A and B are shown apart, each in its own frame.
Chain A
Amino acid sequence: MVAVLAGNHYDVLGIDPRATPEQVERAYRFCLEMYGDASVALYSLLDPEEQRRARSRVQEAYEVLRDPFRRHDYDVSQGFARPGAPMPSLPRPAAGPVPVRTPPPPPPPLPAPQVLEPPVDGAALRRFREGRGVSLKEIAARSKVGVRYLEYIEADRHALLPAAVYLRGFLQEYARATGLEPRRTAEAYMSRVKRVP
C-alpha cells in the first residue's frame, strides 16, 4: 500500500498553517491537478483508487481551510490557534520567512475620509479610486489583499469573493487606501452582496 496523504489538512495541501486564503487556493489547485485523472506526474506511482482517495483527502482539507470559521475551529483543535483566540484579522501574514524590509516612507496626508452616495457598487468604487489616481497594485501592496480580489470587488463578481468576514476586511483596506470611510464603505458594498455571510 502506497502511503496516501497522511498528516493534517495543511500537510495535505503542502502549506504552512499561516498560509493566506490565496495560498490555500493556489495549493489546492496544484494538488487537484497533481491528483487529477489526467495527471502525468503520478503515472504508475498510485493506482486509480489511491489517486481518488488522495483527491478526496485534498478536497476535505480544502473545504475546511477555505472557510474562515471552520478553519479557525480546526486550528484550535490542532493547537495552531489558542481556544478563545480572536478570529485572525486580515491580512494574515504570508507563509514562510518574512523578508526584512526597511519601513516605507510615511504616506502623504490624505483628505478626510469620504462617504460615497449609494449605490456603492464595484463601478462606483472604481470611479472613485481612479479619480484619486490610486492603482490596484498600490492598494494590493499596502493592504496585502491580492489584486485579483480587488478586481473581483470592482467587477461585482460576488461569487468569487471570499467569505463575508474576509470580504469586510478587504473592503475596509480598499477604502483606507483610496481615502474612503472604511466602515461605512464596507457596509454599503456588502449590503448589495446577496449571500449568507
Chain B
Amino acid sequence: MMEALPAVVPVSTARPRRQVWSVGGGKGGIGKSLITAAVGYQLARMGRKVVLVDADLGGANLHTCLGLSGPALTLGDFICRRADRIEDILVETGVPGLRLISGSADFLGAANIKYAQKVRVLNRIRALDVDIVLMDLGAGTSFNIIDFFLISDVGILTVVPEPTSIENGYRFIKSALYRRLRAAATNDAVRRIVDSALDPKNPLGIRSPLDLLTAVERESPESVKALKDQMASFRPRFVVNQVRDVSDVSIGHQLVTACSRHLGVKATYAGYVPFDDTVWRCVRQRRLFASAMPDCPSAQKVRELTRGLVQGESLALTW
C-alpha cells in the first residue's frame, strides 16, 4: 500500500526568494551529481546563497564531486536524530556562498524514510539563510527520490542520449506524475485506477497519463479536473548531458515534444552539457570542472544552463 502524500505540501514560504531545486533522472551514472555541483557552483558565483543537499542516501558522492572528503555528520544522522541541529551537518565547500549537506554511502536505513520526515528535513534546510537549496537525487524511482522531486519548485530531469537513460527518464516522469495524481484523487475508485496504471500490464490498458485521464473520465468524470490541474503544474525541465553532436542536442526538443504529445506532460528543455574529456579528467583529480576549468565547453554550457534556470527560460524549438 502506498504511503499517503498530502496534496498540499506544508512548506515555509516566509521568503519568496527561497527555492528548492532538485536534480533527478532515474538512471545512475548520467552525471546528476556533477551537474548538481556545477550548477550550484555557478549559482554561488552569481551571488546566490546555495546549500547543496546530497539526497542520494544510498550512494552519496556529491562531496567527492566538490573535492571534499566525506564529512563526519550527514543527512542520515539528522534524519535519525543523531544530529540535533541542521547546522551540525552543514559544511563549507571553500566556495563563498556554497555549502553542502552530505549524504552518506552507508546509510541503508534511509531506504524508506517517511514523508513527514522528508518534509521536516526540507523545512529545516529552508529555514537556513539560503536562496536556493539544490538537491542531488539518487538513481531510481523510489518514493524518497520522487517525493523530493515533487516537493521542489524546480525539478530538473537529467538524461544522456542513450536508450537506457531515456527509458528511465520516462519511467521517472510517469512514477512522479502518478504519485502526484494519486494524492489528488478524490475517491477510492480513482486511486485504484492510478494504482493499476503503475503496472505496465494493467487490465485497463493504461500506458500513459493521457490513457489514465480517459479511464478516470469513464469511471468518475467529476474527478478529472483535479487530475488535469495536477498534470498542468507538473513541469519537469530536461537537461541532456554528454551531448556529442547536433542530433543529440535535438533529442531534448524531441523529448519535450514527445512528453507533450504522448504523455500530456508539459516539460521544458532547460539546456544541454557537451561530452567533454575535461570533465572526466577533473573527476579523476577530484576537482570540479566548473571551477578548475571554467573555459571548457561543459563549464560554458553549465553557465548558460544555470542562467536559464534562474530566469525560468528554456531552449525553444523554432522552425
Interface string of B196-230 (1 = CB under 8 A from A): 00000000010110110000000000000000000
For the side of the interface on B, what is the size category?
A: 20 to 34
Q: Are A44 and B205 in contact (CB under 8 A)?
A: no
Q: Given A14-B257, A30-B250, A1 and B205 touching (CB < 8 A)?
A: yes
The yes or no answer to B112 lying at the interface (CB within 8 A) is no
Q: How far does the alpha carbon of A15 sit from the alpha carbon of B262 in the complex, in Å?
A: 17
* B contacts, CB < 8 Å to A: 161-163, 166-167, 170-171, 205, 207-208, 210-211, 247, 250-251, 253-255, 257-258, 261-263, 317-319
Instruction: Tell me the number of A-to-B contacts counted with CB atoms below 8 Å.
Output: 62
| Cβ–Cβ < 8 Å partners of B257 in chain A | 14, 34
Closest A-B pairs by Cβ, 3 of them: A41-B254, A23-B319, A44-B167
Q: Are A44 and B166 in contact (CB under 8 A)?
A: yes
Closest to A12 in B: B261
Question: Measured between C-beta atoms, what is the minimum distance from A41 to chain B in Å?
Answer: 4
Question: Measured between C-beta atoms, what is the minimum distance from B103 to chain A in Å?
Answer: 29
Question: Measured between C-beta atoms, what is the minimum distance from B25 to chain A in Å?
Answer: 15
B contact patch SS? helix
A contact patch SS? loop
| Cβ–Cβ < 8 Å partners of B317 in chain A | 14, 30
| Cβ–Cβ < 8 Å partners of A39 in chain B | 254
Q: How far does the alpha carbon of A73 sit from the alpha carbon of B89 in the complex, in Å?
A: 69
Q: How far does the alpha carbon of A22 sit from the alpha carbon of B319 in the complex, in Å?
A: 8
Q: Are B251 and A41 in contact (CB under 8 A)?
A: yes
Interface residue total, chain A, C-beta cutoff 8 A: 25
Q: Are A33 and B166 in contact (CB under 8 A)?
A: no
Q: Are A43 and B163 in contact (CB under 8 A)?
A: yes
Q: How far does the alpha carbon of A3 sit from the alpha carbon of B253 in the complex, in Å?
A: 19
Give which listed residue, B166, B247, B319, contacts A19 with CB less than 8 A: B319
Would you mind naming 11 contact pairs between A and B with Cβ atoms under 8 Å apart?
A: A1-B205, A2-B208, A2-B211, A3-B211, A26-B319, A27-B319, A39-B254, A40-B166, A41-B258, A42-B166, A44-B166
Question: Measured between C-beta atoms, what is the minimum distance from B165 to chain A in Å?
Answer: 9
Q: Are B258 and A45 in contact (CB under 8 A)?
A: yes
Q: Are B262 and A2 in contact (CB under 8 A)?
A: yes
| Cβ–Cβ < 8 Å partners of B163 in chain A | 40, 43-44
Question: Measured between C-beta atoms, what is the minimum distance from B160 to chain A in Å?
Answer: 10
Give which listed residue, B247, B262, B263, contacts A33 with CB less than 8 A: B247
